[in-house]
């Protein structure tokens, strides 16, 4: 590897703004905000959404269907009588 061209890979503190969860990870992102975590000063990376607050991963996902396509599909191709 060439020296001097790679970003610094360091420990950071991720903060999920939706749930106020925090966890330590590694990243090359930069942040001016610093917070003490377990006696160590770490840069804070604020996230709007993460796997801890995303509706898909929390099981609260909803299907948006403004035009009724899902209902129309179920009517057309839904349960039909079994042919013998």
How do the domains of the chain map onto residue ranges?
10-77
Per-residue pLDDT tens digits for 18-32? 888 899 999 999 999
- Give per-residue burial for 50-80: e unless 16+ CB within 10 Å, then b: beebeeeeeeeeeeeeeeeeeeeeeeeeeee
Which pLDDT tens digit goes with each residue over 21-77? 899 999 999 999 999 999 999 999 998 888 777 766 677 766 666 677 777 788 888
Tokens representing 18 are 């939706």
Confidence band, pLDDT 50/70/90 cuts, at residue 17: confident
């Amino acid at each position: 590897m060439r020296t001097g061209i790679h970003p610094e890979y360091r420990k950071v503190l991720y903060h999920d703004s939706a749930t106020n969860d925090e966890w330590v990870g590694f990243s090359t992102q930069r942040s001016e905000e610093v917070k003490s975590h377990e006696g160590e000063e770490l840069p804070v990376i604020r996230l709007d959404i993460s796997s801890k607050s995303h509706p898909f991963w929390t099981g609260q996902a909803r299907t948006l269907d403004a035009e009724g396509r899902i209902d129309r599909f179920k009517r057309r191709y839904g349960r039909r009588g079994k042919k013998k």
